[in-house]
Structure 1
Amino acid sequence: MDVIVIETPQLGDRSYLVHDGSVALVIDPQRDVDRVETAARDAGVTITHVAETHLHNDYVTGGFALARANGATYLVNAADAVAFEREPVTDGQVIRVGDLTVTVIATPGHTHTHVSYIVSDGTTEAVFSGGSLLFGSVGRTDLVAASDTIGLTHDQYASVRKLVHEAEHEAALFPTHGFGSFCSSGPATGAGSSTIGEQLTANHALTDPDEEHFVRDLIANLTAYPSYYAHMAPANSTGPAASNVQVPESVEAAELTRRLADGEWVVDLRNRVAFSSDHFAGAVSFEYGNGSNFTTYLGWVLPWNEPLTLVGSRGDVEDAIRDLSRIGIDSPDAAIGTEPHALAPDAAVASYPRVGWDEMLRDRADSEPLLDTRRIDEFAASRLAGSINVPLHELLSRMDEIPAGRIWVHCGSGYRAGVAASLLQRAGRDVVHIDAAFDAAASAGVPMAEQTV
Structure 2
Amino acid sequence: MDVIVIETPQLGDRSYLVHDGRVGLVIDAQRDIDRVEAVAVEAGITVTHVAETHMHNDYLTGGLIYAQKYHAAYLVNAEDKVPFERTPIADGETVTVGELAVKAIATPGHTHNHLSFVVEHGDEQAVFSGGSVLYGSVGRTDLLGDEHTIGLTHDQYASARRLAEEAGAAAALYPTHGFGSFCSSGPATGAAGSTLGDQFTANHVYTDQDEAHFVSELIANLTAYPSYYVHMGPGNEAGPGEADLTVPESLDPEELRARLDAGEWVVDLRNRVAYASEHLKGSVSFEYRNGNSFTTYLGWLFPYGKKLTLVGSRDDVENAIRDLSRIGIESPDASLGQDPAQIAPEAPVSSYPRVGWEGMLENRPAGEAILDVRRADEYKASRIEGAVNIPLHELLSRLDELPSGRLWVHCGSGYRSGIAASLLDRAGYDVVQVDGAFERAAGAGLPIEA
Under a length normalisation based on structure 2, what TM-score does the superposition of the two structures give?
Answer: 0.99
- Once the two structures are TM-superposed, the CA of residue 292 in structure 1 deviates from its matched residue by 3.7
- Once the two structures are TM-superposed, the CA of residue 74 in structure 1 deviates from its matched residue by 0.2
Q: String of CA shifts for 1:353-396, please: whole Å, max 9, x gaps.
A: 00011111111112211100000000000000110000000001
Gaps of 5+ in 2: none
* Alignment match, 1:235: 235
Give matches, 1:271-310, under 5 Å.
271-290=271-290, 292-310=292-310
Give matches, 1:312-327, under 5 Å.
312-327=312-327
* Alignment match, 2:176: 176
Q: String of CA shifts for 1:420-449, please: whole Å, max 9, x gaps.
A: 000001000010000011110111101123
* Alignment match, 2:404: 404
Q: Are 2:8 and 1:2 equivalent residues in the alignment?
A: no
Gaps of 5+ in 1: none
Aligned mates of 2:65, 2:323 — CA distance in 1: 17
| Identity between Structure 1 and Structure 2 (%) | 66
* Alignment match, 2:21: 21
* Alignment match, 1:386: 386
- Once the two structures are TM-superposed, the CA of residue 223 in structure 1 deviates from its matched residue by 0.3
- Once the two structures are TM-superposed, the CA of residue 290 in structure 1 deviates from its matched residue by 4.8
- Once the two structures are TM-superposed, the CA of residue 340 in structure 1 deviates from its matched residue by 0.5
Q: String of CA shifts for 1:308-358, please: whole Å, max 9, x gaps.
A: 000000000000000000000010000110101011102111110000111
Aligned mates of 2:422, 2:60 — CA distance in 1: 28
* Alignment match, 2:206: 206
Aligned mates of 2:194, 2:308 — CA distance in 1: 40
* Alignment match, 1:86: 86
Aligned mates of 1:412, 1:291 — CA distance in 2: 18
Root-mean-square deviation (CA, aligned residues, Å) is 0.8
Q: String of CA shifts for 1:82-118, please: whole Å, max 9, x gaps.
A: 1111111101001000111000000000000000000
* Alignment match, 1:105: 105
- Once the two structures are TM-superposed, the CA of residue 169 in structure 1 deviates from its matched residue by 1.1
Aligned mates of 2:383, 2:77 — CA distance in 1: 45
Aligned mates of 1:308, 1:170 — CA distance in 2: 48
- Once the two structures are TM-superposed, the CA of residue 291 in structure 1 deviates from its matched residue by 6.2
Match of 2:347, SS state, is coil
Q: Is the 8 A contact 1:257 1:346 kept in 2?
A: no
Under a length normalisation based on structure 1, what TM-score does the superposition of the two structures give?
Answer: 0.98
Aligned mates of 2:147, 2:302 — CA distance in 1: 27
Q: Is the 8 A contact 1:52 1:75 kept in 2?
A: yes
Match of 1:331, SS state, is coil
Q: Is the 8 A contact 1:110 1:143 kept in 2?
A: yes
Match of 1:237, SS state, is helix
- Once the two structures are TM-superposed, the CA of residue 164 in structure 1 deviates from its matched residue by 1.2
- Once the two structures are TM-superposed, the CA of residue 123 in structure 1 deviates from its matched residue by 2.1
Amino acid at match of 2:320: A
Aligned mates of 1:74, 1:406 — CA distance in 2: 56
Q: String of CA shifts for 1:212-256, please: whole Å, max 9, x gaps.
A: 000001001100000000000000001111211110001111111
Aligned mates of 2:358, 2:8 — CA distance in 1: 37
Amino acid at match of 2:75: L
Give matches, 1:58-207, under 5 Å.
58-207=58-207
Q: Is the 8 A contact 1:292 1:415 kept in 2?
A: no
* Alignment match, 2:352: 352
Aligned mates of 2:178, 2:12 — CA distance in 1: 7
Match of 1:26, SS state, is strand
Match of 1:149, SS state, is helix
Q: String of CA shifts for 1:392-415, please: whole Å, max 9, x gaps.
A: 000011111111101100000000
Q: Is the 8 A contact 1:409 1:434 kept in 2?
A: yes
